[in-house]
Amino acid sequence: MLITAKKIISPVSYLCKTVCRTLSTSAVAKEEKIKIKDGVINYVKVGNGAHHALFLPGALGTIWTEGKPQIEGFNRDKFTLVVWDPPGYGKSRPPEKVFSTDFYDRDADAAYEFMKALKIPKYSLLGFSDGGITSLIHAAKYPDAVNKLVVWGTNSFILPNELEMYKKIRDINSWSKRMREPLVEIYGEELFAKYWAQWVDGMEALYKTKDGNICAELLKNIKCPTFILYGQKDPLVDSVHASHLHTHIDGSRIHLYPEGKHHIHLKYAEDFNQRVQEFLLKP
């Protein structure tokens, strides 16, 4: 089904609302920085639990725009939760992000180097949207490091109609002021506009050079227990993706939110956190 550009933009506005609450949240968990091979990573680490997990935000996403309910809601006696600003996003700059056709692979490698730098050799991955793609690649490439995998709002390839939808909102001037301003706060208007346009261009390059494939061929290499969550009214990620992941990741389980959209971890935070934590703690 064709989805209009207007519907695509609306989940972004939901994400952006959380940015305005950053200051109150920042007192709860302290941001730190650590150097890795290709730059510096800004992150938050909370909890003292034996089960370590890394939360990976989506495109242009940061610790506080996307990980706040998990930072506040995960059981800190059972989990040690790490949330990063992905390389080139948020405060994990410089260097700036380069949206080449291999940037997901580079982020997956960076996540591995990052967790090594933190001296956490075994961990689970919680990947949202673009962060989910990075997590899929990471789990396939570094199976010995990954305990369990959780992904939501995630795809392993790009559909033709999805690419067309991205292109319709390439120019941030087409966004409403309410949706644009929070990301301008993080990046500045010039960098935000450049990043978003380059992200869309990166998706188009992936589509043209790889026939829309991002990492579909790697799904068979994911051997860890995997939990796929999906909002059935997601305007950004077609339902075929959740089905494809479930079919091609051996032994994976799936949970659907019938009224959910893209940011189910924000909209249904309590239920989401409970389901994910139960999955992670299950022997």
* Active-site residue flag, 262: yes
Among residues 138, 241, 262, 263, the one annotated as catalytic is 262
* Active-site residue flag, 234: yes
Among residues 92, 129, 135, 156, the one annotated as catalytic is 129
* Active-site residue flag, 129: yes
Is the separation of the CB atoms in 76 and 49 below 8 Å?
yes
CA–CA dist 244, 239 (Å, integer): 9
CA–CA dist 59, 198 (Å, integer): 11
CA–CA dist 189, 187 (Å, integer): 7
Among residues 234, 241, 263, 265, the one annotated as catalytic is 234
CA–CA dist 229, 48 (Å, integer): 26
Helix 5-19 × helix 160-168 angle, to 10°: 60
* Distance between start and end Cα atoms, the chain: 39
Query: Would you please indicate which residues are annotated as catalytic (active-site) residues?
Result: 129, 234, 262
